[in-house]
Amino acid sequence: MGAAPKSGPSSPVSDAPPSPSALSSTSSSSSGSGMPPSVLKPSGDLLQPLKAKGWSFTKSKWISKYRCDKEIPTELRLLTWNIDFAGPDSRSRTQQILLYLQKTVLSRTPPPSCILLQEVDTWSLNTLIFNPWVRKHYVMTPPTTEPWRAHYGNVTLVSRSIPFEKPQMLVFHNSTMGRTAIFVDIPIRSPTTGKVRTVRIANTHLESLPVGTKMRPTQLAAIAAMLRADGIDGGVVGGDMNMIGDTADQNIHIAAGLDDACLFPHDPANHTWGYQPPSQFPPRRLDRVFFTGEKIVVESPEVIGKGLRTAQGQWASDHCGLSTTVSFTD
């Protein structure tokens, strides 16, 4: 769910790893970097390019020109998870989530996949940066905290074997909580005809709480427009949608022209929030996967991470994650 951004935590001074910005060899800003300029849309939203970096085992740092096997997958595993910036010890909790993904969901040698994370704070980002599994198998965007509009933000991980393009971030003009959407364009190949199509994957965290009810429809509509852009064959958006309101709030994806990938949206088994820990508010399906496109196929998401705790007994997150598979029909 998340709340309005607070002032960032004071800088740790004892066992803190270097800041994510310091770990990057170049800035994530487009200024002077050879990246295309940011674009101010008529709506007031700002579309800005992002850096994507992969770990270099020879240079021992994250770099923009990383090794990519350029294997175009026939399907894509897609995961989304709000990992909770507000809970204590986000470093240990993020590490537990990564371990769970390795052992239970994706395996130590993961298939072509894309992991959408929300509410990543500085400690969580450092955990991603230093994690051997992430370093070996994934590319990260953004690789620093610079593009964030709060002291937490979204991070997308893409298998380093996939030659994805155009990482970019849409900054919502109507957000008071620093909310954004990250986009990556991923090729998917037909296993029968060999035809390659492009799916645009969005990672978002829509405005939280009842106060965000008026903002969420506009934010999701802006994402939907990006998913239907020229040259895109299908689009998928996953993340914390925060749809906590009445019927109108529950139907903002319909108003935006998106389909809900969940086949049984009213089944309590598909709730992703409200159990970890039990809350004064009823459990809800806050996290969702929506899609658009005639030929795209998105499987009904599976809820993952139920009951997941750290070794110290903390909930890994107040949210569960979702796992699905994306492909195209011929």
Confidence class of residue 113 from pLDDT cuts 50, 70 and 90? Answer: very high
Confidence class of residue 214 from pLDDT cuts 50, 70 and 90? Answer: very high
Q: How many domains does one find in the chain? A: 1
Domain housing 301: 40-328
Q: Tell me, what's the pLDDT at 70?
A: 76
In a domain, 273, yes or no: yes
Instruction: Report how far apart, in Å, the C-alpha atoms of 154 and of each of 165, 191, 198 are.
Output: 18, 32, 22
Antiparallel, parallel or unpaired: β 76-82 and 113-121 = parallel
- Compute the distance between CA of residue 29 and CA of residue 18 in angstroms, rounded to an integer: 19
The set of residues, in sequence order, having a beta carbon less than 8 Å from that of 15 and lying 6+ positions away, is none
Instruction: Report how far apart, in Å, the C-alpha atoms of 111 and of each of 45, 166, 181, 257, 322 are.
Output: 34, 22, 24, 30, 16
Q: Which residues of 89-124 are buried (b: 16+ CB within 10 A; e: fewer)?
A: ebbbbbbbbbbbbbeebbeeebebbbbbbbbbbbbb
In a domain, 88, yes or no: yes
In a domain, 15, yes or no: no
Confidence class of residue 68 from pLDDT cuts 50, 70 and 90? Answer: confident
In a domain, 214, yes or no: yes
Antiparallel, parallel or unpaired: β 302-304 and 321-328 = antiparallel
Instruction: Report how far apart, in Å, the C-alpha atoms of 219 and of each of 16, 43, 215 are.
Output: 35, 10, 6
**DSSP string of 22-55?**
HH-SS-SSSTTTTPPPPEE-TTS-EEEE---EEE
DSSP label at residue 212: G
Task: Tell how far CA 188 is from the center of its chain.
Answer: 19
In a domain, 93, yes or no: yes
Confidence class of residue 2 from pLDDT cuts 50, 70 and 90? Answer: low
What share of the chain has pLDDT > 90, as a percent?
85
Residue 43: how many CB atoms within 10 A of its CB? Answer: 14
The CATH number of whichever domain residue 309 belongs to comes to 3.60.10.10
Reported as a single tens digit per residue, the pLDDT across 4-63 is 443 333 222 223 334 444 343 333 333 345 788 999 999 999 999 999 999 999 999 999
- Compute the distance between CA of residue 137 and CA of residue 315 in angstroms, rounded to an integer: 26
In a domain, 32, yes or no: no
In a domain, 99, yes or no: yes
Check pLDDT > 90 for residue 3. Answer: no
164: helix, coil or strand?
Answer: coil
Largest CA distance in the chain: 57
Confidence class of residue 69 from pLDDT cuts 50, 70 and 90? Answer: confident
- Compute the distance between CA of residue 66 and CA of residue 54 in angstroms, rounded to an integer: 5
In a domain, 4, yes or no: no
Confidence class of residue 330 from pLDDT cuts 50, 70 and 90? Answer: confident
What integer best gives the mean pLDDT of the chain?
91
Q: Write phi, then psi, for 76 (nearest 5 degrees).
A: -130, 125
293 versus 6: the higher-pLDDT residue is: 293
Q: What number is the average pLDDT over the span 293-302?
A: 98
